[in-house]
Amino acid sequence: MAQITEELSRTTPEAPVAKRAYPLLAVHAERCTGCRMCELACSIKKAGRADVSASRIRRNPKVPTAVAPSVCIQCTDPACLKACPRGAISKDAATGIVSIDHDKCVPCVLCSKACAFGGIQHSTLEGLVVKCDQCGGDPECVKYCSSGALEYVDNSQVYSELGGREDLASPGLSACLGCPAETLMRFTLKFFGRNTVLALGPGCLAGTGSAGFGTLNGLRIPTYHSLLDNYASMLGGTRRAYNRIGKDFNPVVMAGDGGTADVGFQSTSGAAERGENIIYICYDNEGYMNTGIQRSGTTPRGAWTTTTPVGPSRRGKTQQRKDMALLMAMHDLPYVATATIGYPADYLRKLKRALEVLRSKRGMVYLHLFSPCPTGWRFAPEKSTRVCKMAVQTNFFPLWECVDGEFRITKPVPFPRPIEEYTRLMGKYAHLNRDEIDEYQADVDRRYRRLLALTRM
């Protein structure tokens, strides 16, 4: 304890370096069906009639075989701006939007010729050169894209706020390639800063070297290694000890699903019931990945693990997964939320809310993070972010929060993707047949209906 106190007294938060980023309207060409609903929605919004020639989003005329539309990517150094002889095109430094002043525009269409991406085109209906302006941050085309080919990605706040902050984790950590848990830890510690004590225990993050190299650790903050079943009680005791000496800090747990939903549930539930003033973060990789990929309470039904094998008489895990986030919400905590690194802006907002609750000293905060494991789930490391996003887009892992007992979905999915698009991304579900996938879909739909019912209460 004295060593941790000395460590905290010698460290101060680093001043963030100013960074600038902007929202992006992204096109996932592999999902586009060529229905052109985005073009119709855009033309109605911008020109008042359904005529694709007035749409600001269209197929790239320079790539005749393309099915997916092209959009203006609001270039950092726009070629169209340089090509305009009238100075009619400008880039707003505050929003990042490249816009056209039609009072100055001829139109000579030199801008369209200069754009390699087909993002600025001539509208025969209006007799103007037109381009996407992202509808002021609420793109109409995204709302009508049922295949998920269009996505409005606004991570600009994340980059602006955290981009220049110190990385409190060593670059030499030994996590598996593509591990979202390591990314989540680095992201989380960038937010909380050096005035933090981190509780780690047996699990993937401790196994990377974060919790110790002999007498040292792989982080630049005080860190201790608890047992598998006492993360919350140990950090709660640390918090109480610091309260007695008048030292304020950010007490954070980062525990796996085994130490949270299984052997550590009594400690976690007890800390919640006592109102321990800590932030408990569970990175859920749906199994005991650090010790051999064994099943845990959060492993979904039908999933392969080394203790739920697949063969002629076994079809993976036979029991339903435990909804740990919902269980913690039933403890009447001031704040409970789900998150994933696939949607960092959503996670950053929830970390801010968690810190507000911590400072208000109203009790324990619980955050449940979806953390797919490339090694244990059998998918390529570069697919980690895609798996995270698909879990949300299929409603397998909906993003929600519960604030003082009131539930709210924070990332609505107007057109959920079929669960098969999620299961086929990884090997642990490769054995599922058509009937089993249909059962899986029914389970996902049932759980989501339950969540919707809670949001309407």
Q: Is the pLDDT of residue 285 over 50?
A: yes
Structure-token pair, residue 226: 């608890």
Q: What is the mean pLDDT of residues 265-293?
A: 96
Q: Is the pLDDT of residue 12 over 70?
A: no
Query: Which single residue is written with the structure tokens 């830890």?
Result: 185
| Higher local confidence (pLDDT), 442 or 312 | 442
The answer to whether the pTM exceeds 0.75 is yes
Structure-token pair, residue 321: 């997964």
Q: Residues of CATH 3.30.70.20 domain(s) within the chain?
A: 24-154
Closest CA to 366 of 253, 243, 284, 452: 253
Residue 69's pLDDT is 87
Q: How confident is the model at residue 117 (pLDDT cuts 50, 70, 90)?
A: confident
Q: What is the CATH number of domain 164-455?
A: 3.40.50.970
Q: Is the pLDDT of residue 1 over 60?
A: no
Residue 215's pLDDT is 75
Residue 11's pLDDT is 41
% residues pLDDT > 70 (the chain): 95
Q: Is the pLDDT of residue 79 over 70?
A: yes
- Tell me the pLDDT tens digit for each residue of 302-349: 999 999 999 988 999 999 999 999 999 999 999 999 999 999 999 999
Q: Architecture of domain 24-154 in CATH?
A: 2-Layer Sandwich (3.30)
CA–CA gap between residue 204 and residue 355 (Å, rounded): 25
Residue 62's pLDDT is 67
Q: Residues of CATH 3.40.50.970 domain(s) within the chain?
A: 164-455
- Tell me the pLDDT tens digit for each residue of 273-282: 999 999 999 9
Q: Is the pLDDT of residue 68 over 90?
A: no
Beta bridge partners of 130: 121
| Higher local confidence (pLDDT), 226 or 448 | 448
Residue 64's pLDDT is 67
Q: Phi-psi category of 385—alpha, beta or left, where left has phi over 0 and alpha has psi -120 to 50?
A: alpha
Average pLDDT of the chain is 90
